Amino acid sequence: MKFGKIIVAGSLIFSSLFASDFIDYDTLSKNLKEEAKKDGNLATTDDVKKALSSKDWAVVDVRTMEEWAAGAIAGSMRVGREAPEKALENIVLDDDDKFVKRKLIVVCNTASRAVINAQTFRQMGFDEVKVYGINQWIDECNPVVTKYSASENKEGKKTKFGGYYAEHCKK
């Protein structure tokens, strides 16, 4: 009985040593965003617009399919949260697995998930990786496309639907 209590007490002490090193999601993303700002890795809206028309940059979105379908930056590509590093291969590599786009802007709602994914992307060998929150894009009255607005009319009229703007931008 004493031996069992010793093992339980020992395992509690041992596990508490490692628990002190745990950083919760909010703290981690906040620290990484502060670091990105200090290092100049927070993209501006102008950076995103330039990247969308550049051959060296890819603008990738790491949000869920539902978030993406609700509103995305036209020209950005969804790589999702599940395995974004795998999805990136289709966007930035040619048939010989050579980089065709060596720079990324990683988008999510507030840049919290983006800063976490950006670390992985830097380790994958990208020359430059910046992060951006789509909320900023929307707040600055830039249009977003939805899953519906990006599609063509099913009746064959080839009608394309335009972008949508935040309510405060319609004034």
Question: pLDDT tens-digit profile of 1-59?
Answer: 565 555 655 555 555 555 567 888 888 888 888 998 999 999 999 999 999 999 999 99
d(CA 154, CA 133): 32
Say if residues 115 and 36 touch (Cβ distance below 8 Å): yes
Tell me the three state secondary structure of residue 60: strand
What is the C-alpha radius of gyration for the chain, rounded to an integer number of angstroms? Answer: 21
The answer to whether residue 2 is domain-embedded is: no
Q: How many domains does the chain have?
A: 1
Q: What is the CATH number of the domain that holds 34?
A: 3.40.250.10
Range of the domain at 164: 23-170
pLDDT tens profile 49-90: 999 999 999 999 999 989 998 899 999 999 977 777 788 888
Say what the pTM is.
Answer: 0.79
Q: Which residues of 1-39 are buried (b: 16+ CB within 10 A; e: fewer)?
A: eeeeeeeeeeeeeeeeeeeeeeeeeeeebeebbeebeee
The answer to whether residue 4 is domain-embedded is: no
d(CA 153, CA 143): 20
